[in-house]
Amino acid sequence: MSVVQAQEVEFVGESLQVAPSGYIQLDWSGEAEFFWLEQAEDSLFEETKVIYRGPDKASFVSGLLDGQYYYRVKANEGEWSNVLQVQVQHQSLNLALTLSGLGLLVFSLTSVVIIKGSRSTPSTS
């Protein structure tokens, strides 16, 4: 009779991560043929969603709305890992509009300088 030892799995990196763009890459360590990655919106994992099942030691999660997310991973039938907390807080709309406005201003001023420069240069024909 053989005894299979459960592999210990844990996330690589900080236990609290901030995702300002609504996406994050999750990496974990451990040796196993198969991993389960779960996501929850509460630290007790009362309502979970399996977001990855497979052999890889990383997963890319996108499309996250503002809020707190919690992740845990396990190898095969082993114990769940430490909990990774992710805080998603997108950039503000005001900042995005301000930066877009500045880009438009720089583009407009550059266009004016080029047009005035081309008109004031005598043509050689």
Secondary structure of 74-92 as H, E, C letters: EECCCCCCCCEEEEECCCC
* pLDDT tens-place string over residues 80-122: 999 999 999 988 888 889 999 999 999 999 999 999 888 876 7
3 SS3 class: coil
The answer to whether the CB of 65 falls within 8 A of the CB of 28 is no
Say yes or no: 70 and 102 in one domain. no
Report the C-alpha gap between 85 and 102 in whole angstroms: 35
pLDDT of residue 49: 97
Say yes or no: 7 and 52 in one domain. yes
Q: First-to-last CA distance in the chain? A: 96
Could you list the residue range(s) of the whole structural domain that residue 73 is in?
1-90
Say yes or no: 83 and 102 in one domain. no
Say yes or no: 78 and 95 in one domain. no
Confidence of residue 35 (pLDDT cuts 50, 70, 90): very high
Say yes or no: 8 and 35 in one domain. yes
Residue 2 has pLDDT above 50, yes or no: no
Say yes or no: 68 and 116 in one domain. no
pLDDT of residue 123: 64
Say yes or no: 75 and 59 in one domain. yes
Single-letter amino acid, residue 106: V
Domain count within the chain: 2
Reported pTM: 0.71
Burial of 77-107, coded b for 16+ CB within 10 Å and e otherwise, reads: ebeebeebebebeeeeeeeeeeeeeeeeeee
Say yes or no: 10 and 34 in one domain. yes
